[in-house]
């Protein structure tokens, strides 16, 4: 006990009265002169034999596994999350089909004229409607991404994996979904709206 007031109550030698305050430095010197302290000092002086240590006792890398294994784990988790949220992707596809049907009836021209400014306005209207439809169709993904952010920050800060191992699988698994959505929209509306008859 290093406090001057409290040291007397912890005095263990009942045959000797407590006479003076013993400092922390005196405690350390007394321990070093004691046989336990001398044995400990001898052990610490000799260098440690590394052959006796277990290879997994100390970490040698920032993350527990290799980069490829981290990427595979995050990729399988992202695929699992996509399977779990498959209803959202199916619903988005049906919503896109419904909007494609509306576009097909609204801009029904298999042979679109290209002569006047009003024809250009119709082209731009169809293109703008297609662009906003595809863009707003992807907004459903935004809420799911924001809901995953606290988990991402927690696992990244606890060094479960680096941020690239999280973002790459998310990006790779969303590319086919984006291609399917764009393909559904183009296959349904391209010929019916009459963008370019020579492409058909």
Mean pLDDT for the chain overall: 86
Q: Considering the domain boundaries, does residue 56 fall inside one?
A: no
Rounded Cα–Cα distance for residues 138 and 68 (Å): 29
Claim to verify: residue 171 and residue 134 sit in the same structural domain: yes
Claim to verify: residue 184 and residue 107 sit in the same structural domain: yes
Claim to verify: residue 129 and residue 183 sit in the same structural domain: yes
Read off the pLDDT of each residue in 14-20 and give the average, rounded to a whole number. 84
- In this prediction the pTM is 0.63
- 76 sits in which H/E element: helix 67-84
Higher pLDDT, 196 or 97: 97
Q: Which of 6-15, 51-60, 129-138 has the lowest mean pLDDT?
A: 51-60
Q: How many domains does the chain have?
A: 2
Read off the pLDDT of each residue in 157-172 and give the average, rounded to a whole number. 91
Higher pLDDT, 137 or 114: 137
Q: Considering the domain boundaries, does residue 54 fall inside one?
A: no
Claim to verify: residue 89 and residue 29 sit in the same structural domain: no
Is pLDDT above 70 for 118?
yes
Q: Considering the domain boundaries, does residue 117 fall inside one?
A: yes
Please count the other Cβ atoms lying within 10 Å of the Cβ belonging to residue 20: 7
Query: Which pLDDT score is estimated for 191?
Result: 84
Is pLDDT above 80 for 112?
no
Claim to verify: residue 75 and residue 107 sit in the same structural domain: yes
Burial group, residue 44, by CB count within 10 angstroms (0-12, 13-18, 19+) = exposed
Q: Considering the domain boundaries, does residue 20 fall inside one?
A: yes
Claim to verify: residue 136 and residue 167 sit in the same structural domain: yes
Q: Considering the domain boundaries, does residue 177 fall inside one?
A: yes
Range of the domain at 39: 8-47
Claim to verify: residue 38 and residue 84 sit in the same structural domain: no
Query: Which pLDDT score is estimated for 197?
Result: 62
% of the chain surpassing 90 pLDDT? 40
- In degrees rounded to 5, what are phi and psi of residue 138? -80, -10
Residue 122: pLDDT band (50, 70, 90) is: confident
Q: Considering the domain boundaries, does residue 59 fall inside one?
A: no
Claim to verify: residue 24 and residue 92 sit in the same structural domain: no
Q: Considering the domain boundaries, does residue 2 fall inside one?
A: no
Q: Give tens-digit pLDDT for 49-77.
A: 778 778 777 777 788 788 999 999 999 99
Claim to verify: residue 18 and residue 71 sit in the same structural domain: no
Claim to verify: residue 80 and residue 128 sit in the same structural domain: yes
Q: Considering the domain boundaries, does residue 29 fall inside one?
A: yes
């Amino acid at each position: 006990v290093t406090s001057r007031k409290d040291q007397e109550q912890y005095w263990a030698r009942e045959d000797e009265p407590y006479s003076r305050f013993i400092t922390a430095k005196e405690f350390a010197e007394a321990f070093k002169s004691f046989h336990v302290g001398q044995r400990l000092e001898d052990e610490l002086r000799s260098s440690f034999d590394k052959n006796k240590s277990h290879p997994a006792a100390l970490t040698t890398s920032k993350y527990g596994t290799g980069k490829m294994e981290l990427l595979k784990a995050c990729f399988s988790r992202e695929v699992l999350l996509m399977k779990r949220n498959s209803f959202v992707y199916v619903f988005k596809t049906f919503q896109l089909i419904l909007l494609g049907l509306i576009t097909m009836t609204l801009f029904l021209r298999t042979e679109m004229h290209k002569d006047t400014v009003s024809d250009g306005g119709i082209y731009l209207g169809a293109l703008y409607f297609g662009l906003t439809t595809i863009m707003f169709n992807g907004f459903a993904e935004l809420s799911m991404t924001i809901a995953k952010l606290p988990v991402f920050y927690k696992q990244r800060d606890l060094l479960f994996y680096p941020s690239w191992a999280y973002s790459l699988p998310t990006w790779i698994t969303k590319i086919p979904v984006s291609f399917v959505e764009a393909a559904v929209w183009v296959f349904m509306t391209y010929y019916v709206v009459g963008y370019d008859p020579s492409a058909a």
